[in-house]
Amino acid sequence: MSLHGRDLVSIRDLSREEIEQLLAAARKMIPVAEGSKTASSLADKIVAMAFFEPSTRTRLSFEAAVQRLGGRCLTIADAGATSMRKGESLYDTIRMLSSYADAIVLRHPNEGAARLAARASERPIVNAGDGAGQHPTQTLLDLATMQEAFGTLTGLKVVLLGDLKYGRTVHSLAFALAQFGSEIVLCSPPSLRLPDDHREELRRAGARLSVEPDVRRALADADVLYVTRIQKERFSDEEEYHAVAGSYRVDNALLAGTKPRLIVMHPLPRAGEIAPEVDETPHAAYFRQAFLAVPVRMALLNEILGPTRRGG
Ligand code: CP
């Protein structure tokens, strides 16, 4: 694998082999992420966090990853405090930022923003979420969570529940699951179904894909329940949002009768889709998932910013 100097805009930018190698490298980073081991592989590096949309986990876990590896961050956490308020374009902002930092982690409300940034930047761009588009590093940590729980990513039955229309995490994750040969069950309110172009692409990728609107039936024999929040901020019509708000909720009653080893995942933040009582059950994997963001992002940054591999 050589990701040195490469952008990560979409999960499609990584082969299955590269994903497997990143997950193996991430496992080795866990003691560093926990603070029980030190590392300094990014000692001379500056990574810019350009966040033009709210974030807790993605920005802070990237910052933790950089700092645990001895690097430093330049952070935009509030678009309103930048010269974009004066009308500066994203292109110019990124072009300039790429002369200050060794890599740029970008979150932006517009789908396609990371692709545009990759054209503007002289340094690698990592997409940390572009509108309803992609969230490839979330997918890497989602896969790390499943692999840690089951020891494999092949042959799992994964139920994707919730907002499959606007949820960028599921857009990236479904494609990766197809690459690993896991079964995908789509479960959403009718108005939030996975867009046709994504389904088509998944079918072309050979995905084992089915649709089951009834969550209880979807959960039969499932290994993973991946829950997403309804992405309120992406709705142009508030009535459309209110028509689906609160239409699904995972609680202990729903989980009764599922496989004992079923894990419940969520990219977080949650907004009522998972009852707090689930936190106390062995099914809850979402806080471990949030922690694994740090070693996974360490492994990724090490590859992108580390030395060029021979033959790479
Ligand atoms: N999972 C995720 O992207 O969380 P944040 O929006 O808090 O970064």
Ligand 1 touching residue 268 (CB < 6 A): yes
pTM tops 0.85, yes or no: yes
User: Ligand 1 pocket, 292 CB below 6 A?
Assistant: no
Q: What's the pLDDT at 309?
A: 58
Is 145 labeled as catalytic in the residue annotation? no
Residue 113 carries which side chain, given as an amino acid letter? Answer: A
The Cα 13–Cα 82 span in angstroms is 30
Closest CA to 95 of 70, 134, 123: 123
Query: By the 8 A CB rule, do 28 and 257 touch?
Result: no
Token duo for residue 247: 């239409």
For every one of its 312 residues, what pLDDT tens digit does the chain have, with 9 covering 90 and above? 689 999 999 999 999 999 999 999 999 999 999 999 999 999 999 999 999 999 999 999 999 999 999 999 999 999 999 999 999 999 999 999 999 999 999 999 999 999 999 999 999 999 999 999 999 999 999 999 999 999 999 999 999 999 999 999 999 999 999 999 999 999 999 999 999 999 999 999 999 999 999 999 999 999 999 999 999 999 988 888 998 989 999 999 999 999 999 999 999 999 999 999 999 999 999 999 999 999 999 999 999 998 765 544
Question: Among the options 107, 165, 266, 283, which is catalytic?
Answer: 107
Q: Which two tokens stand for residue 119?
A: 């054209």
Active site residue: 45, 68, 108, 135, which one? 135
Residue 58 is among the residues annotated as catalytic for this protein: yes
Per-residue pLDDT at 34 = 98
Helices marked H in the chain? 16-34, 57-68, 90-97, 113-120, 136-150, 168-180, 196-204, 215-218, 238-244, 252-255, 286-305
Among protein residues, the one with the nearest Cα to ligand 1's atom 3 is 58
Answer whether 58's CB lies under 8 Å from 128's CB: yes
| pLDDT recorded at residue 312 | 43
Which residue is closest in CA terms to ligand 1's atom 6?
A: 55
The per-residue pLDDT for 295 is 98
As to burial, measured by CB atoms within 10 angstroms (0-12 exposed, 13-18 middle, 19+ buried), residue 125 is buried
Per-residue pLDDT of 104-121, as tens digits, reads: 999 999 999 999 999 999
Please identify which residue in the block is written with the tokens 């926990």: 34
- Predicted pLDDT at 237: 87
